[in-house]
């Protein structure tokens, strides 16, 4: 099997020739730029600055030489504009607070503060309020809440929370067509994030690509709204899902079934110990719009639908499946109720587990290489039975993870796969 065939078998719940591996295809399965540099150095690859393709989390691009060494079976497609509203390109050197020379988009507007921290501006406009802040001791940008004053809940306008959503342009469609044609030449499975379906994504509520965001732009106020302003959210979700379907139709006309997986959204429903909302709130507020969009996708395409959510989501597993989700990520099995064997036995025939391979909160940054090895082997043994599993870590590989542990991770995958 080549990589694409391997992934396709796994996501169709058939046993592939070996466990398929994903790093770098999505904003939640990627590798921090510092770790990319460490891995390139370890494997003796050409020394060059790492390209930061996703500046919010400072994620590093995986070039073909590193993907080959690591045995990556996937390739990702991202929107034309990044989270801060500018396209990648016209790369320029940037020295990070931790001292690494990287390449960032020349279209980003970044300024340095007096104490060595950095600010990034929406659409590259330094005249607008900054939408991201990287402390001098930080490794990525924190989004800045720019909601002004106390929220006037009696004066909410749904179009204010629709500002970042619009119809795809011919430029967008040409870009996706070209990117997917190029990705298809790699022989890897294509994971596409078109940026048109995160209509229920609390991680983007601050509007980092908007110069002067209106509406509910505070995470606290948004979470409160899921209880107290549900009518307002229903109107937003209804409009956003209608627009998402319209855009999906445009994309499908251009790319057809030449992608394997669609990245839907990254709304987190779980904390370490519980869920962010009740099952009833999920059923009434969220599920109808998931079903609306996933129903269109399943009716008109062969794409598998990938949903990210961290945390203790076991009580919602069946609900996600019933809402049309084919793939769940990252399977944070260290959270309450997320015992791996229970998840595989209970849900493994109905949903694909994408992630789960190693704990990035404790084991990878603080464990030993042998502890990493044992954990990877155990997770592969449990989740790979009968297919329905793509190996990745429990969220992105984080900065300050020892390179020996990173190497132990990939060595353990090869060991499990018999190489």
CATH number for the domain harbouring residue 262: 3.20.20.210
For residue range 275-329, list pLDDT tens digits in order. 999 999 999 999 999 999 999 999 999 999 999 999 999 999 999 999 999 999 9
Q: Which residue has the tokens 């770098």?
A: 24
What does the pLDDT read at residue 81? Answer: 96
Number of domains making up the chain: 1
In a domain, 395, yes or no: yes
In a domain, 104, yes or no: no
Helices H / strands E in the chain, number of each: 13, 16
What does the pLDDT read at residue 110? Answer: 97
In a domain, 269, yes or no: yes
In a domain, 315, yes or no: yes
What does the pLDDT read at residue 200? Answer: 66
Residues 6+ apart with CB under 8 A from 80: 87, 171, 172, 175
In a domain, 343, yes or no: yes
For residue range 364-391, list pLDDT tens digits in order. 999 999 999 999 999 999 999 999 999 9
Closest listed residue to residue 104, CA positions, set 122, 123, 82, 126: 82
Residues 6+ apart with CB under 8 A from 57: 27, 30, 32, 140, 141, 396
In a domain, 122, yes or no: no
What does the pLDDT read at residue 390? Answer: 98
- Written as six digits, the tokens of 42 are 């370890």
Domain range enclosing 11: 3-47+63-84+147-416
Please provide the average confidence, as pLDDT, over all residues in the chain: 96
In a domain, 116, yes or no: no
* pTM tops 0.85: yes
What does the pLDDT read at residue 148? Answer: 78
Ramachandran angles phi, psi of 125, nearest 5°: -95, 105
């Amino acid at each position: 099997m080549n990589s694409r065939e391997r992934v396709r078998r796994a996501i169709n719940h058939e046993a592939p020739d070996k466990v398929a591996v994903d790093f770098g295809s999505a904003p939640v399965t990627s590798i921090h730029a510092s770790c990319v540099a460490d891995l390139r150095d370890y494997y003796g690859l050409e020394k060059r600055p790492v390209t930061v393709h996703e500046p919010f989390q400072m994620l590093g691009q995986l070039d073909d030489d590193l993907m080959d060494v690591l045995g990556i079976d996937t390739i990702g497609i991202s929107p034309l504009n990044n989270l801060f509203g500018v396209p990648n390109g016209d790369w320029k050197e940037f020295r990070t607070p931790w001292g690494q020379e990287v390449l960032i988009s020349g279209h980003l507007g970044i300024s340095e503060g007096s104490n060595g921290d950095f600010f990034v501006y929406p659409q590259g406009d330094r005249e607008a309020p900054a939408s991201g802040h990287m402390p001098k001791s930080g490794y990525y940008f924190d989004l800045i809440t720019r909601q002004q004053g106390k929220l006037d809940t009696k004066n909410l306008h749904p179009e204010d929370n629709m500002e970042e959503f619009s119809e795809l342009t011919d430029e967008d469609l040409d870009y996706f067509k070209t990117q997917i044609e190029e990705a298809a030449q790699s022989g890897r499975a294509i994971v596409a994030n078109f940026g048109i379906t995160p209509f229920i994504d609390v991680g983007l509520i601050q509007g980092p690509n908007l110069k002067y965001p209106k509406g509910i732009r505070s995470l606290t106020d948004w979470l409160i709204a899921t209880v107290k302003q549900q009518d307002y959210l229903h109107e937003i979700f209804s409009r956003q899902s209608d627009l998402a379907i319209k855009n999906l139709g445009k994309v499908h006309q251009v790319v057809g079934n030449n992608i394997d997986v669609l990245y839907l959204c990254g709304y987190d429903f779980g904390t370490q110990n519980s869920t962010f909302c009740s099952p009833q709130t999920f059923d009434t507020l969220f599920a109808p719009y998931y079903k609306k969009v996933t129903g269109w996708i399943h009716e008109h395409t062969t794409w598998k639908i990938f949903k990210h959510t961290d945390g203790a989501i076991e009580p919602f597993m069946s609900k996600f499946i019933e809402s049309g989700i084919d793939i769940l990520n990252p399977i944070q099995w260290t959270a309450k109720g997320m015992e791996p064997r229970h998840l595989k036995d209970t849900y493994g025939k109905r949903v694909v587990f994408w992630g789960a391979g190693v704990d990035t909160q404790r084991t990878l940054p603080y464990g030993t290489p042998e502890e990493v090895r044992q954990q990877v082997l155990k997770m592969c043994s449990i989740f790979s039975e009968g297919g329905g599993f793509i190996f990745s870590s429990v969220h992105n590989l984080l900065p300050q993870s020892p390179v020996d542990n990173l190497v132990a991770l990939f060595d353990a995958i090869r060991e499990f796969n018999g190489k």
